[in-house]
Structure 1
Amino acid sequence: MFVPVMCGTVFVHRAAMQSAPVIETNVLVPMRDGVRLAADVYRPSAAGRFPVLLCRTPYNKNGQAALAKFFVENGYAVVVMDSRGLYASKGEWHPYTDEGRDGYDTQQWIGQQPWSDGKVGMFGRSYPGYTQVAAAPYRNTYVKAIMPEAAQSSNFEAIWSWNGIYHLALGLSWGTGQEAIARGRPRPSPSWVEVMNHLPLKSSMDMIGVHSQFVGDTLSHETYDEFWRAMSIQEKYADMDVAAYHLTGWYDDLTHETISNFVNMRKLSRSDHARRWQKLLIGPWGHGVRSDPKYGDMDFGPQMATDLRKLHLHWYDYHLKGVRNGLETEAPIRIFVMGENVWRDEQEWPLTRARATRLYLHSTGTANTRMGDGTLSDKTPGAERSDVYAYDPRYPVPTYGGHGSGGGGITRDGAFSIQGPMDQRSTQQRADVLVYTTENLPADTEVTGAAELNLFFSTDVIDTDFFATLSDVYPDGRAILITEGALRTRHRESREMTKLLTPKQTYEVKIPLWETSNVFKAGHRIRLHITSSNFPRFNRNLNSGKPMAEEMEEDIRVAHQVILHDAQHPSSLMLPVVPADAKRGTPQR
């Protein structure tokens, strides 16, 4: 089994391994405003000072006990803290906005404890990943290294909204669930299908039975404004000065955000040391490192397995203990190349050797369904008929696969599954889905990086959505989802403002697809499908142009979408293709 970690010495406190750890529960740590947050402290039973690993979480500190004990066995003290206002911590729960200050204050407290040697690291996935990067601009001198897994840079562009389209299932279920916990109540369990279909969205919390001011604000703030800036680190990279190991998966809803953190911290951090010590790992999984090679409808083989605990020790031993374990000789980037199913080291992102390769959309006007005549080729279009489909918000395309972190049980099973690389044939047989496919590929074709759809369209409504999905079509017909992108047209010019459409006017938009790495094997085909909904992962655009929180059933408009692909309107898909003779790095099976 291949583990993407260089071999090396692991320094262990022998005495710590021979007896149970000392555990102090519900230690109240004072913040600058006097509020006290609860932490569990795990430390070796041996006398002395130790490097300390910190996790700050809104998901109950008790859930990290096993991992904390593992770190103690390997010579670390560990502090796991409940976020402000949740579980045993005091104060009021305000998602995201308090994490930077509270993180710094906690780090400062740790550095001054008699069992701390003054070197602090951080760990955690998802929200606990965000707590790491949120505290980074405060530059606590005790903090030497962090390891954010699946951490966002801006909540507007990933977790809560995607180019203006609201993450409905996740937003409503996560937001109200955390609010219930803050009030000492169990997570709500309404009929989520009814909740997701309810209009207007602003009263959906009446059906859930829990009202969250935060969720209400996420629904009403449709542009990137001060509400969202308060939860963003995008303007703060130049204030950071810490070594960071960033982890994500090709099917995480934070793929782009994690890569953005890596790229910008590598470019903008204050010191040479911090810029040099940015690392990135991307595997064939979703919202968290997986050990099971089977994911969605794919099996990536045993070589994809990653020992996350060893990965942590390798990173912390070097930066907090000074162990020369070979980390300094490793490449800054390691990616899993799907299709080939190998790990590969890289020195840069994006890959400069990738060539922008454009495939044009073609048809005779009947690209509807995978049985239609839509094609992709490098031939520029001439006089071609447009493709047309009707998007009726009352009958949306159901979520099936793709990037995601779930949705509180809403999008886990059956027709609403978000499980990454799912076979898209059921979606591609709908009449409101346009499908464009290449001929059988004569040779292996590697796509690594961010694809982009350049789309010419018109519609008869003043606002609508477009979803673009790239799939790998196998010789047996399976169409495995590789990556996807989406756009709410009112956000076509800016995330900071909205601009409605003029019906029946032609527009050109660029729809970015999330980064990926996949080898489309010889004999396979590359497929693009286009539609206007992905429900309930995202909220339905009712095509009315009204604020999404206020739209009612009577506001629903059926949108007649026209996709143009002629000489004057050459709709195309740009793919970052890595030429076979330019493949570098060190692949390992």
Structure 2
Amino acid sequence: MRTLRAMILIVSVLAALLAQAEKIEFTYTALGAKIGTSTLERQAEGTFRSVTEIKVANVEVRSELQGRLVEGTLTEFTLDQTVQGTRAVISAKDGKAKIVAGGQEREVSYAPTRVFFSNYHPFTTGTVADAFNPSVASSQKVDTFVIDALTAIPIEVVAKLSQRIEVGGKPLVAKVHNLKFPTVAFDVFTVEGEGVVAWDIPTQRTTIVRLGFEKLVEDPTLKYPELSKPEFAVKIESNVRVPMRDGVELAAEVIRPAQEGDYPVILVRTPYGRKPSAIEGEWWARRGYAFVSQDVRGRGESAGEWTPFVHERDDGFDTIGWIEKQPWCSGRVGMIGGSYVGWVQWWAAVERPAALKCIVPQVSPPDPFFNFPIDHGVPMLLGAIWWLRVVEKPSPDSSIFTPFSKPEALLSLPLASIDDELLGKNIPFFDDWLSKESSQAFGRVNFHPDLPKVDIPALHISGWWDGDGIGTRLNWMAMNRLKKRNQHLIYGPWTHAFNTTTSIGDVDYGPEAILELQSVYLRWFDHWLKERDVWKGQPTARVFVTGANEWRELAGWPDPSSELTTLYFRSVGGLSTIKPGSEEPDRFTYDPAKIAFEPKDLEINPADATTVLNIKRTDDDFLLYSTGPLKEPMIVAGPIEVELHFATSARDTDFFATLIDKDPDGIRRLIAVPGKIRARYHRGFDRPELLTPGRTYKVTFPIWDTAHEVEAGHSLEVLISSQSFPSFARNLNTGEPAATGTRMVAAHQTLYHDRNRPSAIRFYGLPPKTP
């Protein structure tokens, strides 16, 4: 069972073990609203019982952990846990441990341990904090046994500055440690004689606190007197039916101030279940906003047929029109949300509903031919299939986190059969996506052609490692080209689950990598919806420079102070600012029938993830170009693009470009998400044309945005290849349609870099940060 990947991961930590019987109670709070409690009872002889009950919208958790500690060592335990109706029982005694879940049983050996953790039990993580030795180092790895998974993982523990607090008139000092799990980091507060008293999980906007210690985890927005305060009682209306123009009714939660009046409205439209989003509604309602969270058509409790993308323009427009007519609406509406929930904002915006005044698209895709489900002509594979599993039921459940039963089916051909093989059913809209062989085939789903009509402010948010990050790049650049005003950008060192962890694989960017965004959102909506002058002075772009591991506030993206830099591919694998003269081309071979793929590669533990690229220079299926060791540091910033002059033996093929930082020890690390293109689109994405073998072509395509400092002594490298399976579908090189092709041939690729065919990479060099 992969409890660490549960849809809602709420972590907590320990109150110190006392010698006498005791009862300790904690309160779980999310966005200022109570969502659960945890009660720990401990006896002097070492037995304990911890019961946690949490309800977040329609997600319910009940977890009971019982066990025995002998001189601080966990000798036996039983964890009985039900999450969303799915029960698991995990137990250990006499050196044996077993898990019973979903009708299956697994047994492993168990060695009693002093350092252990369970997701929903506040007392356990304190054993991790107790294992920290302040005399050794301020940052230490602590091996921790995770009860929920019956496995041990290293947890990084970092000492932070202590905080002073007064409780019951008595001044106390709380020590603070940051615990970094593979998927989340949080602060643990301990007081001598009291044990652990509070936990702050800012990325989940969740706290767990003992009575009297609330000030340790106070709402950060309260620090800004100019922003809206939590002054209103709240009224909640559930399953409100919102009619669309065709008579279909969509389900919504309406959370607003209880006091009669007209209020600005924040709208969230989601395919992932409206109730989890609605938990934020109470936080906003207390600050004088109405909050509407809606299931999109065919999802959750909304009527109609679920076909991704197709109805979002009209349904978004109709929903905002309905909101505008409500007596509690001031006539000003904003939207916020990530991924698909960011996408729907753009579809609504291009329809120009009068009441829509601003949007906050987070990790939002662009038009569907340029990221998801197709990326510059190359069909997304693993991510697309995973998303199909998320949305193929009316509401997502915990099964989306289980491994594929037949991962080898990813190699199935034709491509349109993969949903049948992996999911056991045909998903018609997946087949429809694959059949589209040009950007314009998506019709009204494309919103970029209509962006000239969008004149509202937008706060674009994404991360360098976001799987939809190319969307933020393309959406931002389009609005920039159109000279649209009041566009702002935040780029962090984050994945699609943005602003949730300081680490990507085995690289930690430091505690500053996490931003306190709630006050940013409140400031944004106070300014544009309440028409308060509180956004003045905010930077146009705020980006995190990896390598240097620091935030930069910029006047634009690209920043006006940055310099466009071109590095040309050269013979013998060189990368230089000097244009080439007469040089021989380079060659490699891509054979889709010889892709190396092991199903176990899909089962990577987050703790084992890495940005390291293991490249064998003896392989003949890629080319590598390098600057050699730099004499001075260089900050590589976006937008970045690659220009390739090539010939191939095939009728069609793909090219991928990967940006790398190589250190003096020869370790290569990925520093940006690779760019890609299907070569048949060399004339444009609405003009596919198969290739003539041996003829020279040119393609230009983006590497995804980044800002990274390559240190002196390091090398900047570019790797050119023709596949990234299983993330993306293989090009079979025959020119057959992507959906139905089955025949494979090898492609012999020739890459030119001479005076008339200068293959190159272009990026913006960002100057060093001024003191």
Q: Is the 8 A contact 2:494 2:500 kept in 1?
A: no
Give the C-alpha shift of residue 105 in structure 1: 1.4
Structure 1 residues 430, 447: closer, same or farther in 2, change over 3 A? same
Structure 1 residues 546, 444: closer, same or farther in 2, change over 3 A? same
Q: Is the 8 A contact 1:53 1:76 kept in 2?
A: yes
Separation (CA, whole Å) in 1 of partners of 2:607 and 2:376: 22
Pairwise CA RMSD of aligned residues?
Answer: 3.1
What is the letter of the counterpart of residue 375 of structure 1? G
2:557 to 342, 349, 362: 349
Instruction: Report SS of the residue matched to 1:394.
Output: helix
2:548 matches 1:340: yes
User: Which has the higher mean CA deviation after the structures are superposed, 177-186 or 155-164?
Assistant: 177-186
Instruction: Report SS of the residue matched to 2:307.
Output: coil
Instruction: Report SS of the residue matched to 1:235.
Output: helix
Aligned to 1:95: 308
Give the C-alpha shift of residue 200 in structure 1: 0.8
Give the C-alpha shift of residue 61 in structure 1: 0.8
Separation (CA, whole Å) in 2 of partners of 1:378 and 1:263: 26
2:574 matches 1:375: yes
User: Which has the higher mean CA deviation after the structures are superposed, 248-257 or 377-386?
Assistant: 377-386
After superposition, where does 1:148-547 map in structure 2 within 5 Å?
148-175=361-388, 177-181=390-394, 190-207=404-421, 208-225=423-440, 227-265=441-479, 268=482, 275-325=484-534, 327-364=535-572, 374-382=573-581, 384-396=583-595, 413-414=603-604, 422-426=611-615, 430-483=619-672, 484-547=674-737
What is the letter of the counterpart of residue 238 of structure 2? T
2:751 matches 1:563: yes
What is the letter of the counterpart of residue 211 of structure 1? N
Which structure has the higher relative contact order (CA within 8 Å, separation 6+)?
1
Give aligned pairs, total: 551
Q: Is the 8 A contact 1:411 1:536 kept in 2?
A: no
Separation (CA, whole Å) in 1 of partners of 2:560 and 2:277: 40
Separation (CA, whole Å) in 1 of partners of 2:502 and 2:263: 36
Aligned to 2:229: 12
Separation (CA, whole Å) in 2 of partners of 1:85 and 1:436: 49
Q: Is the 8 A contact 1:248 1:288 kept in 2?
A: no
Structure with more of its chain in strand, by fraction = 2
Structure 1 residues 429, 31: closer, same or farther in 2, change over 3 A? farther
Separation (CA, whole Å) in 1 of partners of 2:668 and 2:398: 43
Structure 1 residues 230, 410: closer, same or farther in 2, change over 3 A? farther
Q: Is the 8 A contact 1:291 1:307 kept in 2?
A: no
Q: Is the 8 A contact 1:180 1:210 kept in 2?
A: no
Aligned to 2:326: 113
What is the letter of the counterpart of residue 676 of structure 2? A
Instruction: Report SS of the residue matched to 1:470.
Output: strand
Separation (CA, whole Å) in 2 of partners of 1:428 and 1:248: 34
Separation (CA, whole Å) in 2 of partners of 1:481 and 1:363: 23
Deviations 1:511-531 (A, max 9, x none): 332222111111111011111
Instruction: Report SS of the residue matched to 2:276.
Output: helix
Structure 1 residues 122, 202: closer, same or farther in 2, change over 3 A? same
Pick the structure with greater CA Rg. Answer: 2
Separation (CA, whole Å) in 1 of partners of 2:338 and 2:732: 34
Instruction: Report SS of the residue matched to 2:479.
Output: helix
What is the letter of the counterpart of residue 473 of structure 2? I
Q: Is the 8 A contact 1:85 1:93 kept in 2?
A: yes
Give the C-alpha shift of residue 429 in structure 1: 6.8
Structure 1 residues 8, 78: closer, same or farther in 2, change over 3 A? same
Instruction: Report SS of the residue matched to 2:439.
Output: coil
Separation (CA, whole Å) in 2 of partners of 1:151 and 1:551: 31
Question: Structure 2: 5+ residue runs without aligned partners?
Answer: 1-159, 161-201, 204-219
Q: Is the 8 A contact 2:232 2:287 kept in 1?
A: no
What is the letter of the counterpart of residue 262 of structure 1? W
Give the C-alpha shift of residue 354 in structure 1: 3.1
Structure 1 residues 508, 318: closer, same or farther in 2, change over 3 A? closer
Separation (CA, whole Å) in 2 of partners of 1:113 and 1:268: 34
TM-score by length of 1: 0.86
TM-score by length of 2: 0.66
Deviations 1:519-548 (A, max 9, x none): 111111101111110011110011111111
Aligned to 2:85: none
Deviations 1:355-406 (A, max 9, x none): 3333233344xxxxxxxxx23223444554443322121233669xxxxxxx
Give the C-alpha shift of residue 428 in structure 1: 6.5
What is the letter of the counterpart of residue 11 of structure 1? S
Aligned to 1:25: 238
Separation (CA, whole Å) in 2 of partners of 1:538 and 1:410: 17
Structure 1 residues 108, 332: closer, same or farther in 2, change over 3 A? same
Separation (CA, whole Å) in 1 of partners of 2:444 and 2:576: 44
Give the C-alpha shift of residue 338 in structure 1: 1.9
Separation (CA, whole Å) in 2 of partners of 1:542 and 1:137: 37
